[in-house]
Structure 1
Amino acid sequence: MATGIVRYWAAAKEAAGVAEEPFEAATLAELMTKITSGRDALAHVVRRSSFLVNGDPVGLRAHERVVLADGATVEVLPPFAGG
C-alpha cells in the first residue's frame, strides 16, 4: 500500500472542498474508490476527469493497472472549458 498526495484542480477542488489531501492506496482504482466514498459531487467530477501520476498522464490505461508508489502525487484534472 502506497502513501502520497492527491491534488484536485478546478471543479474537482471545489467538489472535494480541499486542494489536496493525503492518500493510502495501491492502485489508482483503489484511490478513486476511497476518495469518492460518501462524496457524490466529487464522484461525479472524477468520472469525467483525467489523471496525472507523478506528472505522467494516465491516458486510457485501466485504473486497476496503474500501480501507485510511495510518495506519489496524483492530480485530478476535470475537463476545462475555453480555447
Structure 2
Amino acid sequence: MATGTIRYWAAAKAAAGTAEEPYSARTLAEALDAVRERHPGELTRVLQRCSFLVNDEPVGKRPHDAVLLTEGGTVEVLPPFAGG
C-alpha cells in the first residue's frame, strides 16, 4: 500500500471542496474508489470526465487498476479545460 497526494484542479477541486488530500492505495482504481466514498455526489460525476496524471505521467486510456501508485507520489485530477 502506497501513500501520497491527490491534487484536484478546477471543477474537481470545487466538487471535492479541497485542493488536495492524501491517498493510501495500491492502484489508481483503489484511490479513486476511496475518493468516491469520501465525496459522493458531484465529484463522482466530475471524475467520469477527468483525465489523470500519476507522478507527472498521463494515464491515458490505461485501465485504472493497472496503474500502480508509488510511495510519496501524486495523482493529478484534471477536468476538461476550455481552450482559447
User: What RMSD, in angstroms, separates the aligned Cα atoms of the two structures?
Assistant: 0.8
Query: TM-score, normalised to structure 1's length?
Result: 0.96
Deviation by residue 1:7-50 (Cα, 9 ceiling, x = unmatched): 00000000000000011010000011000115211110011100
SS at structure 2 position matched to 1:7: strand
Q: Alignment identity in percent?
A: 60
Specify the alignment match of 1:4 in structure 2. Answer: 4
Quote how far apart the aligned CAs of 1:54 are.
Answer: 0.7
| TM-score, length of structure 2 as denominator length | 0.95
Aligned length: 83
Structure 1: state its 5+ residue gaps: none
- One-letter code aligned to 1:63: H
Instruction: Tell me which moved more, 67-76 or 33-42.
Output: 33-42
The aligned residue for residue 49 of structure 2 is: 48
Where does structure 2 lack aligned partners over 5 or more consecutive residues?
A: none
Instruction: Find the counterpart in structure 2 of residue 68 from structure 1.
Output: 69
